[in-house]
Amino acid sequence: MSRTREIAAAAEAAGKHFNGRDGFANAGLKNLYVCIGESMGVGADSSSGCGQAMWTIDREPGVTPFLAKCRHCGGYAQSKAYRVPQDTAADFEWYRPDGRA
Ligand SMILES: [Zn+2]
């Protein structure tokens, strides 16, 4: 199976799962990822990172990462799990791969 078809199949499977009865209505929600640097896990906080943050918006239902790569220092940026003001502009979007890579 080609990589494109693999991605399309995974997206279709994810769509069936997350649009179903066990879905999380995250589409349209804003989230904040704050850099925690190179350390991660219990006790990690933004004081050990570079201080940068990125605002995101979920465009479709589905899973988004808890940790993302900090675009400033390459460390870990940790999700605030949507416990942030929703009226803030987002810098990045999370969307489901559609196989058009
Ligand atoms: Zn950073």
Average pLDDT of the segment spanning 63-81: 91
C-alpha 85 to ligand 1 mean position (Å): 21
Q: What is the pTM of this model?
A: 0.72
CA distance 52 to 81: 17
Predicted confidence (pLDDT) per residue in 9-41, tens digit: 877 776 666 555 556 788 899 999 999 998 766
Q: In the chain, which ranges are continuous DSSP H helix?
A: 3-18
Question: How far apart (Å, rounded) are the C-alpha atoms in residues 2 and 21?
Answer: 30
Q: Return the closest-CA partner of residue 57 out of 32, 24, 25.
A: 32
Whole-number Å distance, alpha carbon 57 to ligand 1 midpoint, is 20
Q: Residue 101: which pLDDT band, with cuts at 50, 70 and 90?
A: very low
Compute the distance from residue 31 Cα to the ligand 1 centre, in Å. Answer: 17
Q: What is the mean pLDDT of residues 57-84?
A: 90
Alpha carbon of 1 to ligand 1 centroid (Å): 37
What was the pLDDT predicted at 93?
Answer: 94
CB count, 10 Å around CB of 92? Answer: 12
Residues 81-96 have pLDDT tens digits of 999 999 999 999 998 7
Tell me, in angstroms, the distance from the centre of ligand 1 to residue 81's CA. 18
Residue-level pLDDT at 100: 47
Contact 97, 12 (CB under 8 A): no
- C-alpha 38 to ligand 1 mean position (Å): 8
